[in-house]
Structure 1
Amino acid sequence: MLPSGAAIAGRSAAALYGVGSVGVAEPLDVLVPVGQRFGPVAGLSVRTAEVAEADVRLKTGIPVTTPLRTCWDLAQWLPVEEAVARVDGLAGQRLVQIDELRGSAHDRLGLRGCKRMLRVAELADPGAESVQGSRLRVRLVLAGLPRPVTRFVGERDGRFVARLDLAWPDLRVAVGYDGLWHDDPEQFHRDRRRLNRLLGEDWIVLHVTAKRFGEDFDGFLAELHHALRTRTRTRTR
């Protein structure tokens, strides 16, 4: 039983809104108002902060931080890459608006945590289609690359050819993330066929697998840097 004013928060709240998940062995995030004494409790990760009544709502009878407050807490508690991945999901479901996040941060200028919220809001993109795709995009931007377009639709003669995870359309360079869903050979075949059509339109399409994302990201980043530099030089000639 949670104390008065407390709520499920952070990653656990995001999961209740359908964004990400919390493993069975992971603790639930709980936010407790300042002045309340609660815990430690096995299976709960308890954090204390100022909590307004408007920051909490009931979801199937359970007190949960609102999507807006959830984004604030995610920005404070998680590394920026992980926070943005979940904020992307909440924004993609239209539970929050990016401008709303920026406004919330500006309203708290001077308070601890506002800069983290602003940074997450600047990096967030409701067009992201997966948590891992969000992580990839954020990592590329933090590495100094220009911000890519999410879910870019490649066309030929006005007709749909393929939707690309990340793209720099002016340079005709794109990145595709090959996640676990590509264990389906038929889906993999369809995706590759569509991308091959784009290659005929003079696109460079690079692919990063889950394994490479985790073990050889620097190598992939060097390849992408090279592709973008090559296309930039070609355009300036």
Structure 2
Amino acid sequence: MRPPLLEWQVFRGSAAVAAGLLSVHQLRGRGWTRLRHDVYCDSRLAADHALLCRATLARLPPESVVLAGPSAAHAHGVLSAAGPDDLVHLILRADRRVGRQVGTRLHRVPLDPTDLCHVDLPGGSSLVLATVPARTAWDAAVWLPLADAVALTDGLLFRRLVTTAALREVAARLAERPGGRRAGHTLGLADGHAASRAESLLRVRLFLAGLPMGVARPPIFTVAPCLAWPEFRVALFRTPDRAGEAVMIDDGWLVLRLAPQTEFPEVVRHLRAALSGRGWRNTRKQDVVESALSSTMR
């Protein structure tokens, strides 16, 4: 039997033993899972990134840090932003001091009051501090590789947790901070119609390969290809939709289908040929594009 006070909870093992709720021997039983040093939880809780965040916060003074970047995105509902083995991203509040924590990445950057909100996490009844979705996307754009940052922002937009207007506002407000220029470019690549992380990553990888940026799932007729280039009437499908493809072909579109086993260079080659055949000419200097969006951009 689990003590009622510890059911579905994350807790400090030493505190539970001191309160007489469990013995040291009982802590090693199958009813509990060790998450961090001296941090345990009810073993029925799902072992995801949110639980890892709760366990990390259990070792820190209350409201001394703020969940940020991919950890905040996961807390807001973009579950693909961080997994159970990923680092927990935290921003240290200006007037607080904490020791180094294993499995975390601690950032020391300014936060405005408008950047903060409270979110709910499994394993406890108290709400925890996190960055609001717009600031979450901005931090991710500074800290993460380009494709990962865009995928995270796409997820926030797709779930209507943030608007493009809010992204423009935060990019303008923080433009002069370190990484601000890069973040502005990154957030400008986001597309709220991308339905999955895989679609977002494909769109950005194709762009970095020198192709024009595709539009995610445009509502063309009643068909939704995963990517399209309406200016050139070229569409890319990841899953077969023979009826939809036929409608687009009859209207003069060039339709390509991405088979699961297709290697990325082959996708680029076919798309480049299709777009070039429809009048696209590459005017970008790829080395300039990549350097402009690199982690050193300020």
TM-score (norm 2): 0.65
Residue 110 (str. 1) matches residue 110 (str. 2) = no
**Residue 231 (structure 1) aligns with:** 278
**Residue 164 (structure 1) aligns with:** 225
Whether contact under 8 Å (1:39, 1:46) holds in the other structure is no
Whether contact under 8 Å (1:56, 1:64) holds in the other structure is yes
Whether contact under 8 Å (1:102, 1:117) holds in the other structure is no
Counting strand residues as a fraction of each chain, which structure ranks higher?
Answer: 1
Structure 2 unaligned residues grouped into runs of 5+: 1-57, 121-126, 281-298
Residue 120 (str. 1) matches residue 186 (str. 2) = yes
**Residue 10 (structure 1) aligns with:** 69
**Residue 183 (structure 1) aligns with:** none
Counting helix residues as a fraction of each chain, which structure ranks higher?
Answer: 1
The CA deviation string for residues 98-149 of structure 1, in whole angstroms up to 9 with x for no partner, is: 2322222222333211112111121011121111111111222233322322
Sequence identity percentage: 34
The offset of 1:34, in angstroms, is: 4.2
What letter corresponds to residue 268 of structure 2 in structure 1?
L
The offset of 1:21, in angstroms, is: 4.3
| Alignment partners' CA distance in 1, 2:118 and 2:185 | 29
**Residue 136 (structure 2) aligns with:** 70
Question: What SS does the corresponding residue of 2:160 show, helix, strand or coil?
Answer: coil
Kindly tell me the number of residue pairs found equivalent between the two proteins.
214
Whether contact under 8 Å (1:14, 1:67) holds in the other structure is yes
| Counterpart among 196, 203, 226 of residue 130 in structure 1 | 196
| Alignment partners' CA distance in 1, 2:70 and 2:107 | 13
Flag the 1:22–1:209 CA change in 2: closer, same or farther, 3 A: farther
TM-score (norm 1): 0.80
Whether contact under 8 Å (1:148, 1:168) holds in the other structure is yes
| Alignment partners' CA distance in 1, 2:152 and 2:261 | 21
Flag the 1:109–1:42 CA change in 2: closer, same or farther, 3 A: closer
The offset of 1:222, in angstroms, is: 1.3
The offset of 1:35, in angstroms, is: 5.4
Flag the 1:170–1:106 CA change in 2: closer, same or farther, 3 A: closer
The offset of 1:75, in angstroms, is: 0.8
Once superposed, what is the RMSD of the aligned Cα atoms? 2.2
The CA deviation string for residues 155-186 of structure 1, in whole angstroms up to 9 with x for no partner, is: 3xxxx3x21111122322111234xxxxxxxx
Flag the 1:5–1:57 CA change in 2: closer, same or farther, 3 A: farther
Question: What SS does the corresponding residue of 1:164 show, helix, strand or coil?
Answer: coil
Structure 1 unaligned residues grouped into runs of 5+: 179-187
| Alignment partners' CA distance in 2, 1:104 and 1:21 | 20
| Counterpart among 146, 163, 175 of residue 236 in structure 2 | 175
**Looking at CA atoms only, which structure, 1 or 2, has the larger radius of gyration?**
2
Q: Which runs of 4+ in 1 moved over 6 A?
A: none
Residue range with higher mean Cα deviation, 216-225 or 33-42: 33-42
Whether contact under 8 Å (1:8, 1:29) holds in the other structure is yes
The offset of 1:210, in angstroms, is: 5.3
